[in-house]
Amino acid sequence: MSINVKLDVLMAQRKMRLNELAAFVGITDANLSILKTGKAKAIKFSTLCAICKALDAQPGDLLEYINDEKNPT
C-alpha cells in the first residue's frame, strides 16, 4: 500500500513552478520537492490546505491511494 502524490501533474496543468508554489504555501523549495517526489512521510493539514488553495484543487486531486499488495487481507 502506498500514497501517490500527483503534485507535479497539477503544477504542470496550472503552469506553476515549484518555487512559486513553495512561496505561496510558505515552505521551502526543498520540502516541497520532497513532497512532490513522493518521499515525504507526512504532511500537515495546514500545508495540504495551502497547496489546495494555491492550485484550486481538492486533496483527492493531489493524493491517490495505491493498493499494491498481491494478497490483500
- Per-residue pLDDT band at 68 (split at 50, 70, 90): confident
Question: How far is the C-alpha of 7 from the C-alpha of 16, rounded, in Å?
Answer: 11
Instruction: Give tens-digit pLDDT for 33-47.
Output: 999 999 999 999 999
Q: Give the number of residues written for the chain.
A: 73
- pLDDT of 72 higher than 60: no
Residue 59 lies in a domain: yes
Residue 73 lies in a domain: no
pTM: 0.86
Residue 6 lies in a domain: yes
Question: How far is the C-alpha of 41 from the C-alpha of 55, rounded, in Å?
Answer: 22
Q: What is the mean pLDDT of residues 1-13?
A: 93
Number of structural domains, the chain? 1
Paired sense of beta strands 2-5 and 63-66, if any:
antiparallel
* CATH code: domain of residue 12: 1.10.260.40
Instruction: Give tens-digit pLDDT for 20-34.
Output: 999 999 999 999 999
Residue range of the domain that includes 54: 2-66
Residue 62 lies in a domain: yes
Residue 15: count other Cβ atoms within 10 Å of its Cβ.
Answer: 7
